[in-house]
C-alpha cells in the first residue's frame, strides 16, 4: 500500500503526527494508499517556511511572476493525461471528466498570466498643488486554502494560481480523500520556476484546518465544501482577523417552460444532473417543468435517457457516462435520501438502488435515479444529495417555478430553458441566485468572470477567480506625495514656495 506525503519547502515530506487517513479506489472499494494527517506543529512549520520565502517572491515584478504561470500552463498541457489518470484513480470520475477538471483549473492559470494588467494601480496627477496621488496593490503575505474532494485539480488552481501570481505564498490543505494531484501540481509549479516554500501542500483534517484558521501569520483563507463547514470556517477565520471566502452547498433548479425544446432540455438535464455522478456543486438536481403537459413530455423524454446511462470504472474508457461516488459513506447517504423520497411520497420512475457491476461489487457505485412529483417539503428537495439523483417538481405557473428557486436556502446556480426572450430576461433579472444559465444547464463562468453563489451558498464578499481573485489576494495602499520646490542654497527647503 502506498504511503502519501506532504509537500513542504520543495520536497515530499512524510507525516510525523502518527495519524493517517485511508485513500480508496472508489471502483473497487479497496484502500490504495494512506495519507498523513498533519498536526498543528506540522502546519505551523509550513507557514514559517512560507513566511520566510514570501517577501522575496512578492518583490519579483508581476511580469516575471506571470512568466512562471505561463510555463506552468505549458506543463499542465504536457502532463494532462498523467494528472487525469491519478485524479480518476482516487476520485472515481471518468477520464474525460478528470481531464475537464484539470482544464478548468488550467484556464484560471491562463487568466493569471494577465497579472501585470490586473495589478496596476491608479494615479492622479496634481490632486492638489504639487500633490500626486497613487495606489498600489500589494500581496497579503501567506494565504491558505481548504479544497474539496470533487474537483481536486480545478479548485486548488482556482485558489493558488491567483494568490501566487499576486505575490503571496500559499498553504494548500486538499481533501484527504484524493490528495495526490495537488502535490503533483505543486511540483509542476516549481518546475515552472516558482521558488521553494511559496506553494506547500499540507494534508490533514480538522486539526490542520483549525491550525490554519488560528495561525496569526496566515492572512486569508479560502474554502469550498458543505454549508455547515463553510459557516464554521468563515466565522472562525473572521474571528481571528483573516480575510475569508467560503463556498457552501447548492440545490440548483432548472426551469423548463412549455415552449422549450424538450429534447434539448432533457439532454441538458441528463448531462448536468448525472455527470460526475452528481458530485458537483453546479449539478442540476431539480427539474421544474411548468404545467402538467410540459412535465409529462419532459418525463417521457427523460426516462429512456436516464435508463440508458452507463455506469462503470474510469478504466472502461469513454464508454461510460459516470463512475462511482467517492466513498462508501457517500453512497449510503445518497441511498438513504432516495429512500426518504420514497417514504415521503415521491414517485421513483427510474430506480438505481439495486445497481451492481460484475467484478466491482465492492465499489461505491450508485445507479441513476429519477424522481417525479417531488414537493418542497421532502428531504430530497431540501437537502443537497451530491449523487446521481434528479428530482422533478411540477409547477403550475412560471411564477410558482421561479418562486421555488428563489425561496430555497441555497443560491449557487440555476437555469431556464425557453424560446421566449422576455421570459428569459425576466428570469435572469429577478432570480436571487449567483450564476444563471439561459438554455445553458451548468452556468459556470469562464475564468475571466467570477464564480460564486448567493444566500447560504457563499460566505464572504468576493467570488472566486476573475477580477475578484485579484482583489481578494491583494491589499490596496494609497500614497499621497508632495515634492517641495524652491530649494534654498545650502540644501534647505523653501517651505514658503510650497504654499
236-257 confidence digits (pLDDT tens): 999 999 999 999 999 999 999 9
Region 114-128: mean pLDDT is 94
Residue 130 confidence (pLDDT) = 86
Cβ-proximal residues to 420 (8 Å cutoff; 6+ apart), any chain: 257, 259
Say yes or no to pLDDT of 92 above 80: yes
Averaged pLDDT, 48-76: 98
Q: What is the mean pLDDT of residues 434-459?
A: 95
Beta carbons within 10 angstroms of residue 132's beta carbon: 15
Distance separating alpha carbons of residues 312 and 324, to the nearest angstrom: 7
CATH class of 252-438: alpha beta
Average pLDDT of span 386-405 = 98
Q: Cβ–Cβ contacts within 10 Å for residue 455, how many?
A: 17
Mean pLDDT, the chain, rounded, equals: 95
Cα radius of gyration (the chain): 25
Report yes or no: 417 and 256 within 8 Å, Cβ to Cβ.
yes
The grid coordinates listed for 300 are 417521457
281: annotated active-site residue: yes
116/66 Cα distance (integer angstroms)? 8
Residue 95 grid coordinates: 477520464
Q: Measured between alpha carbons, how far is 359 from 121 in angstroms, rounded to an integer? A: 60
Which residue of the set 112, 143, 166, 281 is catalytic? Answer: 281
Report how far residue 31's alpha carbon sits from residue 403's, in angstroms, rounded to the nearest whole number.
45
Q: What are phi and psi of 458, to 5 degrees?
A: -150, 145
Tell me: pLDDT of 234 over 50.
yes
Q: How far apart are CA 301 and CA 299, in angstroms?
A: 5
Q: Which residues pair with 31 in a beta bridge?
A: 24
By C-alpha distance, which of 176, 174, 178, 172 is closest to 160? 172
String of DSSP letters for 383-396: S---SSEEEE--BS
Q: What are the backbone angles phi and psi of residue 138, rounded to the nearest 5°? A: -115, 150
Work out the pLDDT band at 499, boundaries 50, 70, 90: very low
- Is-above-0.85 flag for pTM? yes
CB 246 within 8 A of CB 233: yes
Does the pLDDT of residue 486 top 70, yes or no?
no
Mean pLDDT of 99-103: 97
Q: What is the pLDDT of residue 324?
A: 97
Residue 357 to residues 100, 337, 354: CA-CA distances in angstroms?
Answer: 25, 22, 10
Residues of the chain with CATH 3.40.605.10: 2-248+466-479
Band of residue 491 on the pLDDT scale cut at 50, 70, 90? low
Query: Virtual CA dihedral for 173, 84, 162, 167, nearest 10 degrees?
Result: 70
Which residue intervals of the chain bear CATH 3.40.309.10? 252-438
State phi, psi for 457 to the nearest 5 degrees: -90, -5
Mean pLDDT, residues 96-118 taken together: 97
The CATH number of the structural domain formed by 2-248+466-479 is: 3.40.605.10
Place of cell 474510469: 314
pLDDT score for 484: 77
Structure confidence at residue 129 as a pLDDT band (50, 70, 90): confident
Percent of the chain with pLDDT over 70: 97
C-alpha cell, 274: 448525472
Do strands 6-8 and 11-13 pair parallel, antiparallel, or not at all (unpaired)?
antiparallel
Instruction: Decide the pairing of beta strands 369-372 and 389-392.
Output: parallel
Residues 10-26 pLDDT 10s: 999 999 999 999 999 99
pLDDT of amino acid 188: 98
Amino acid at each position: 500500500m502506498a504511503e502519501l506525503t506532504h509537500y513542504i519547502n520543495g520536497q515530499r515530506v512524510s507525516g510525523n503526527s502518527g495519524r493517517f487517513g485511508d485513500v480508496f479506489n472508489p471502483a473497487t472499494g479497496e484502500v490504495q494508499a494512506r495519507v498523513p494527517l498533519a498536526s498543528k506543529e506540522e502546519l505551523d512549520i509550513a507557514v514559517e517556511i512560507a513566511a520566510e520565502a514570501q517577501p522575496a517572491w512578492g518583490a519579483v515584478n508581476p511580469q516575471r511572476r506571470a512568466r512562471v504561470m505561463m510555463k506552468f500552463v505549458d506543463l499542465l498541457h504536457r502532463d494532462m493525461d498523467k494528472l487525469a489518470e491519478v485524479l480518476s484513480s482516487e476520485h472515481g470520475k471518468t477520464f474525460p471528466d478528470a481531464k475537464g477538471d484539470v482544464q478548468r483549473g488550467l484556464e484560471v492559470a491562463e487568466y493569471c498570466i494577465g497579472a501585470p494588467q490586473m495589478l496596476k494601480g491608479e494615479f492622479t496627477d496634481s490632486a492638489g498643488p504639487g500633490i500626486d496621488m497613487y495606489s498600489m496593490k500589494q500581496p497579503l503575505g501567506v494565504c491558505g486554502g481548504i479544497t474539496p474532494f470533487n474537483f481536486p485539480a480545478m479548485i486548488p488552481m482556482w485558489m493558488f494560481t491567483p494568490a501566487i501570481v499576486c505575490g503571496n505564498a500559499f498553504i494548500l490543505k486538499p481533501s484527504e480523500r484524493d490528495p495526490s494531484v495537488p502535490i503533483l501540481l505543486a511540483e509542476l509549479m516549481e518546475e515552472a520556476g516558482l521558488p521553494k516554500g511559496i506553494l506547500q501542500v499540507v494534508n490533514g483534517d480538522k486539526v490542520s484546518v483549525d491550525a490554519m484558521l488560528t495561525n496569526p501569520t496566515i492572512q486569508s483563507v479560502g474554502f469550498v465544501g458543505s454549508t455547515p463547514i463553510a459557516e464554521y470556517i468563515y466565522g472562525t477565520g473572521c474571528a481571528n482577523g483573516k480575510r475569508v471566502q467560503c463556498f457552501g452547498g447548492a440545490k440548483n433548479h432548472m426551469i423548463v417552460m412549455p415552449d422549450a425544446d424538450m429534447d434539448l432540455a432533457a439532454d441538458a438535464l441528463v448531462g448536468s444532473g448525472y455527470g460526475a455522478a452528481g458530485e458537483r456543486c453546479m449539478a442540476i438536481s431539480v427539474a421544474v417543468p411548468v404545467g402538467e403537459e410540459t412535465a409529462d413530455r419532459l418525463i417521457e423524454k427523460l426516462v429512456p435517457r436516464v435508463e440508458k446511462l452507463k455506469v462503470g470504472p474510469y478504466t472502461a474508457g469513454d464508454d461510460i457516462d459516470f463512475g462511482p461516488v467517492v466513498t462508501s459513506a457517500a453512497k449510503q447517504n445518497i441511498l438513504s435520501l432516495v429512500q426518504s423520497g420514497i417514504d415521503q411520497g415521491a414517485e421513483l420512475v427510474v430506480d438505481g438502488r439495486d445497481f451492481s457491476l460484475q467484478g466491482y461489487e465492492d465499489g461505491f457505485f450508485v445507479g441513476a435515479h429519477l424522481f417525479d412529483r417531488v414537493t418542497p417539503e421532502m428531504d430530497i428537495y431540501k437537502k443537497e444529495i451530491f449523487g446521481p439523483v434528479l428530482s422533478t417538481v411540477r409547477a403550475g405557473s412560471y411564477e410558482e417555478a421561479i418562486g421555488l428557486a428563489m425561496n430555497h436556502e441555497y443560491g449557487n446556480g440555476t437555469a431556464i430553458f425557453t424560446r421566449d426572450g422576455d421570459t428569459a430576461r425576466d428570469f435572469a433579472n429577478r432570480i436571487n441566485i449567483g450564476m444563471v444559465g439561459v438554455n445553458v444547464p451548468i452556468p459556470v463562468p469562464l475564468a475571466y468572470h467570477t464564480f460564486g453563489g448567493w444566500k447560504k451558498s457563499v460566505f464572504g464578499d468576493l467570488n472566486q477567480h476573475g477580477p475578484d481573485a485579484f482583489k481578494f489576494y491583494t491589499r490596496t495602499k494609497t500614497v499621497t506625495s508632495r515634492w517641495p520646490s524652491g530649494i534654498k542654497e545650502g540644501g534647505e527647503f523653501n517651505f514658503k514656495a510650497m504654499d
